[in-house]
Amino acid sequence: MRLDILFLDRVGIAQEILFVLAERRLNVVAVEVDPPHIYIDAPELVAQQLSTLRTALSSISNVQSVLTVDMLPGMRRHLYLDALLAAMADPVLAVDASGTIVVANAAAAGVADVSEATLGGVTLGALFGDPALHAELVESGFCAPLREVMLHGEPFLLDAKPLAGAPTAGGLVTLHAPSRMGQRLHALQHFEEGSFATILGESAPIRALKARAARVAVVDAPLLILGETGTGKELVALACHTASPRAQQPFLALNCAALPENLAESELFGYAPGAFTGAQRGGKPGLLELANHGTVFLDEIGEMSPYLQAKLLRFLNDGSFRRVGGERELKVDVRIISATHRNLEQMVAEHSFREDLFYRLNVLSLLVPPLRERSDDILLLAHFFLERAAAQTQRPLCRLTAAANAALLSSPWPGNVRQLQNIIFRAVTMSDQAFLDVADLELAGSSVGSAEDGTEGDVGSWEQAIEQYEKALLQRLYPLHPSSRKLAAHLKISHTMIANKLRRYGIRKIV
């Protein structure tokens, strides 16, 4: 039985309390003094003895109460700390000032391939086979920068920190596996779920894309996503990863056009210690290591240099590679999803892209349609971006006028969905009105604007100019007279002619 004795502190009170238990020949296995409490663990104390013991203890001067508890606070804390260490996925070692392991969690014992008890008493130098590392950590008081270490042939980043509150007593050593770091990086970059539901649109081209993507997502083979700039290729890639058997593993992306060759190589493949001036002291794992068992997305693969193309081809052949400046062969299990807006087949014909790499990447393929080929989705996307922009700018939700809707539908959208998103965001930011009109959208080269302003368009003949004017006029007026009969009556021409022209120009009623 365990007791919690509440008291007013005075000299000798703890000794008097223990004397009462000794008189009754009760063995005490643990005592914790935390004024105004004394906690006592007496395993042989039974319920029948408690009443007389409580009376005897209460007769001691300054003892206020005697209660029973299920566990001593120190025991409870020890139990919770053990549970906390066991739940930690990263290996953690608590070491004394000499660098000898005092406590290790289950993850550390697992990677060392020994029991937790066996790890106790082992020095860091013996564990990692590196006496110099041991000496440096001890001499620095465990205030050392991150560095890479090897344990049972596996790479880890070692993070050492002195014990908080007692820096001379030792330190904590945490080992970070590259795959665990990749999972955290994925969580930071993709805090929203990337499913096919996030690909907005109900048009026929988008439904066909989703159906095909759902089929190729579950096939564990390289995937090449083609499409113009701004169509949402990375969104499709993330959705395919989320629908794949690798969904619980990292999805990490590299834009091949955003970095020079040497930086792109080190980002993708990592680098060994001392690989170049300014390199991180212990080396650095690349995206391939960080995404082990997951997916690496290579955006703008058409911009990759010939040297990196050759190195990527070797990885695709057998899953092995070397870090920059490294000599050790590494092997990981990663699915490659790549994307480009360029014509890779033409680049192959021009010898600016490797033919063998093209066929390695193009095992499965998807073509993301441009926005101009999915006009049914334009207003749906615009309304979604309106709500998002209003939330981001903390402004009341505004709406689009009929003329603005018509202008959006008639725009050629060379920048696709990204351009639409930017235009809506800019309009919401710059306008204080409840309705956004054509002028608020700042649509450069809008056919509606050209027709209304009387500016010259890029036409090749009189017939093309007439067609452009007719289309722009009908797109502007149809939302105001939303039926072919009403519009025909307004323009004082036949219903048949209006119906034929609406059908010819693909103009539908705007809801």
For the cut 70, the answer to whether the pLDDT of residue 256 exceeds it is: yes
- Report pLDDT for 460: 56
Which distant-in-sequence residues (6+ apart) come within 8 Å of 158 by Cβ? 133, 146, 147, 148, 149, 173, 174, 175, 282
For residue range 383-437, list pLDDT tens digits in order. 999 999 988 888 888 899 888 888 898 888 989 999 999 999 999 988 888 888 8
pLDDT average, residue stretch 440-468: 56
Q: Which of 45-49, 207-211, 497-501 is predicted with the least confidence, judged by mean pLDDT?
A: 497-501
Tokens of 123: 């020095």
Inter-CA distances, 122 with 184, 276, 493, Å: 30, 34, 95
Model confidence pLDDT, tens digit, residues 306-342: 999 999 999 999 999 998 888 888 899 999 999 999 9
Angle between helix 484-491 and helix 495-504 axes, rounded to 10 deg: 120
Q: Is the pLDDT of residue 443 over 80?
A: no
Sequential DSSP letters for 459-500: -SSHHHHHHHHHHHHHHHHTTTS-SHHHHHHHHTS-HHHHHH
CA atoms within a 13 Å half-sphere pointing along the CA-CB vector of 268: 26
453: pLDDT confidence band, cut at 50, 70 and 90? very low
**Among 18-27, 36-45, 64-73, 180-189, whose mean pLDDT is lowest?**
180-189
Q: What is the pLDDT at residue 279? A: 59
Q: Mind listing the pLDDT tens digit for each residue in 128-174? A: 888 888 888 888 888 887 787 888 877 888 888 888 777 678 888 99
Using a 10 angstrom Cβ sphere, with 0-12 exposed, 13-18 middle and 19 or more buried, the burial of residue 388 is middle
Partner residues linked to 81 by β-bridges: none
> What would the CATH number be for the domain defined by 373-504?
1.10.8.60
CA 412/CA 100 separation, integer angstroms: 69
pLDDT of residue 455: 40
- What single-letter DSSP state applies at residue 324? B
- Indicate the CATH number for domain 88-176: 3.30.450.20
pLDDT tens, position by position, 84-105: 888 888 889 889 989 899 888 8
pTM, rounded to two decimals = 0.65
Q: Nearest-CA neighbor of 427 among 443, 413, 414?
A: 443
pLDDT of residue 480: 75
pLDDT at 504 over 90: no
What is the average pLDDT score of the chain? 86
Superfamily of 186-367 according to CATH: P-loop containing nucleotide triphosphate hydrolases (3.40.50.300)
Q: What is the 3-state secondary structure (H, E, C) of 94-124?
A: EEECCCEEEEECHHHHHHHCCCHHHHCCCEH
* 508, pLDDT greater than 90: no
Question: What is residue 454's predicted lDDT score, i.e. its pLDDT?
Answer: 39
Looking at residue 214, its pLDDT comes to 94
Angle between helices 261-269 and 306-318 (to 10 degrees): 20
Q: Is the pLDDT of residue 245 over 90?
A: yes
The class level of CATH for 2-74 reads alpha beta
Residue 273: pLDDT band with limits 50, 70, 90? confident
Residue 14, judged by CB atoms within 10 A of its CB (0-12, 13-18, 19+), counts as middle
pLDDT band at 501 (very low <50, low <70, confident <90, very high): confident
pLDDT for the residue numbered 358: 96
Delimit the CATH 1.10.8.60 region(s) of the chain: 373-504
With a CB cutoff of 8 Å and minimum separation 6, the contacts of 17 are 5, 7, 38, 40, 57, 60, 63
Q: Residue 385: its pLDDT value, please?
A: 93
Q: Alpha helix (H) ranges present in 64-192?
A: 73-87, 106-112, 116-119, 124-128, 131-139, 178-189
The predicted pLDDT at position 487 comes to: 83
Q: Which residues pair with 63 in a beta bridge?
A: 7
**Over 80: is that where the pLDDT of 220 sits?**
yes
Residue in 7, 17, 11 with CA at minimum distance from that of residue 53: 17
